[in-house]
Amino acid sequence: MTAPQQSPLLAEDAELTRVATGAIWAEGPVWVPRRRAVRFSDIPNNRILEFSEETGELAVFADDVEFTNGRTLDLDGRVVECSHGRRAVQRDTAVGPGEAYAPEVLVDRFGEHRLNSPNDLVVASDGAIWFSDPAYGIKRAEEGHPGVEEYGDRYVFRFDPTTGSLLPVVIDIEAPNGLAFSPDEKLLYVSDSSIEPADRDNPAPDRPRGHAIHVYDVVEGRHAKNGRILTEVSPGLPDGIRVDVDGNIWSSSESGVQVFTPDGERLLDLPVPEKVGNLCFGGEDGRTLYIVATTSLYRVRTRTRDASSGRGPVAR
């Protein structure tokens, strides 16, 4: 499609290619090694799609999926994902080719209150699931079901699937969205998409409006401390983010993919023809960047891999 600017982050012959299309708003991509495929959501159509790298074909993986959004792999290689409709974090118990989609809810309540609409998540090397919980799925009819913020705010949580413990770890971001750890898990990055309020018709006038990537020190593997703004993303806002093995942050934006150093210096602007919602590394060697952008799935070859590729015994 297009040859992006030369960059040490991209393969020498890198070319941005659209490999599939047909979504309304594509989100939540993850590379599933056992299926040699990228799985992602088409949220308004309430379905999950999969692009097979082997066949080059896009197929509907599942319909009526309760408006799933962000997803990742747990340490056993199973897909863990966010459900706006169920207001939950869930795990797909199907793992092999040909097995039917079978999600099980892992957590859907904070004490007595239902979660808002979990949006994105990351799994740490101890197996804990850190996830963001903004309000898009209960404020936008095309992304979920109407509802109220029962615990009264929007947090990032840490869920321990072994003990069932659920603790808020980030409470100072208005609309927490994409999440990623640094390679050593000493830093947590959180994107704030509050410049685009969940309730478009009735935005709260006294709530903050931001479009920055925030960074936190991770203490004892379970606490997020000393939050600060790393960088603002413009045009648009940061939605899904990933961190590579060198610690660089790859962020979605309205114009394409933007890459930043751990100090917030912009290294790369990769233009994409459609507004980017999220991205993930994948392919057989982990060096292909897959990008979900509004209606389509794009890919480009890079010289790096996801930081989590060396974290934990992920079954292949």
Return d(Cα 285, Cα 205) in angstroms, integer. Answer: 47
306 is in an annotated binding site: no
**CA distance linking residue 196 with residue 47, whole number of Å:** 24
Q: 45 labelled as ligand-binding?
A: no
Helices and strands, number each (H, E), in the chain: 1, 26
Query: Which of 92, 239, 244, 306 does the annotation list as catalytic?
Result: 239
Q: According to the annotation, is 143 in a ligand binding site?
A: yes
- Is 239 designated active site? yes
Q: Is 76 annotated as a binding residue?
A: no
Any binding-site annotation on 15? no
Residue 19 contacts residue 40 (beta carbons within 8 Å): no
Distance CA 23, CA 162 (A): 36
Q: Which two tokens stand for residue 229?
A: 């703004």
Are the beta carbons of 310 and 186 closer than 8 angstroms? no
Phi-psi category of residue 66: left, alpha or beta, with phi > 0 → left and psi -120 to 50 → alpha: left
Enumerate the known binding-site residues for substrate: 119, 143
- Name the residues annotated as catalytic: 239
The binding site consists of 27, 119, 143, 177, 239
As annotated, the binding site for a divalent metal cation includes 27, 177, 239
